[in-house]
Amino acid sequence: MGACENPGDLVRFSVAVPGELLSQFDERNARRGESGNRSEAIRDLMRASLVRESLRTPDEQVIGSLTMIYDHHTGDLTRRLDEIQHDYTHEIVSTLHVHLDHANCLEILALKGQGARIYELADKLLALRGVHHGELTCAATESCLDV
């Protein structure tokens, strides 16, 4: 069984986040007219994340882009990013790297290949410590291109 008796029961859990992140999240909710119910906003984000996950198509051909923002000073992050990418040379079609400021880099990878490999690559890169923002957007699949 999961974390509760009945699947629909509300469960309280505590989460540690930087204060600045929480302030920005509250401001975002206020802009959307959702202020005052932080829990509902977090529930929405959790559901959206699960829906995105369910749309993964590991057996299909996928075309997409992976966007990352990271601080290149973080440990051996750049070496690890490099090492992982060298294992996916068939999937990475092109890379764009922009030095945003003294610390931060923006990197965009154009990807093409079997879904399972693309998602595996994205998961590995985005899990690295120091990658602040990362998002995989799948632009199309083989079935879309047939149209």
Residues that bind Ni ion (CB under 5 A): 99, 105
Residue (90 or 97) nearer to Ni ion, CB: 97
Q: How far is the CB of 72 from Ni ion (least distance, A)?
A: 5
Closest approach of Ni ion to the CB of residue 65, in Å: 18
| 95 contact partners, CB below 8 Å, separation of at least 6 | 85, 107, 108, 109, 110
Using alpha carbons, select from 144, 143, 88, 147 the residue that is nearest to residue 113.
Answer: 88
* Residue 125 in tokens: 């890169």
Please state the closest distance from residue 144 (CB atom) to Ni ion, in A: 33
Query: In terms of CB distance, is 92 or 138 closer to Ni ion?
Result: 92
Nearer of residues 107 and 118 to Ni ion, judged by Cβ: 107
Nearest Cα to Cα of residue 137 among 61, 71, 52, 60: 52
For Ni ion, which is the closer residue by CB, 49 or 95? 95
Closest residue to Ni ion using C-beta atoms: 105
Minimum CB distance to Ni ion, residue 71 (Å)? 10
Residues near 86 by beta carbon (within 8 Å), at least 6 away in sequence: none
